[in-house]
């Protein structure tokens, strides 16, 4: 079972290590794009294997509130060895619970096109045309909490 925690202190480094592996090493995103000016204002999440002997970080995500009442889901990453095992859903459940408790009405995200079906399954709807971000095809998606 996956354990998701707010990432601060040492846990923030765990979240960054997952992002480094997935985005920079696996997908070739430039580090200067991956780590940006929003790191300090975002709420970061990190997922761990539920293993009492070792807390290995296996997933990460962050949440920002760039517009009143609208949150932005960003940097959702799961290590390749743990994809399709519920880690992404656990991260999104924790992130959405935090967003709801903060009173956010809507969440938006830029999904890599290959991950759009995952977000659609969580109730996100696509809007607008496909676009490229960090050299990777994306689509804009949103979900309202009403």
Mean pLDDT, consecutive 10-residue stretches, the chain (146 aa), reads 89 96 96 93 93 80 88 97 94 96 94 96 96 95 90
Quick one: CATH architecture of 2-144? 3-Layer(aba) Sandwich (3.40)
User: What pLDDT score was predicted for residue 53?
Assistant: 56
For 33-42, the CB contacts below 8 A with 24+ separation are 33/134, 34/75, 34/134, 38/62, 38/64, 38/74, 42/74
User: What pLDDT score was predicted for residue 50?
Assistant: 76
User: What pLDDT score was predicted for residue 1?
Assistant: 77
DSSP assignment of 34-52 equals: HS-TTTTTSEEEEEEE--T
User: What pLDDT score was predicted for residue 68?
Assistant: 80
């Amino acid at each position: 079972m996956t354990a998701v925690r707010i990432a601060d202190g040492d846990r923030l480094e765990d979240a960054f290590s997952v992002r480094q592996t997935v985005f920079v090493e696996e997908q070739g995103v430039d580090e200067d794009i991956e780590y940006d000016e929003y790191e300090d204002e975002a709420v970061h999440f990190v997922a761990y294997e539920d293993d009492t002997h070792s807390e290995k970080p296996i997933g990460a995500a962050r949440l920002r509130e760039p517009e009143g009442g609208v949150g932005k889901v960003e940097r959702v990453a799961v290590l390749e060895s743990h994809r399709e095992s519920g880690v992404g859903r656990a991260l999104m459940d924790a992130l959405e619970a935090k967003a709801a408790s903060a009173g956010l009405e809507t969440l938006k995200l830029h999904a890599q096109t290959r991950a759009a079906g995952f977000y659609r399954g969580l109730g996100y709807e696509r809007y607008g045309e496909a676009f490229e971000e960090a050299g990777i095809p994306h689509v804009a998606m949103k979900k309202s909490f009403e």
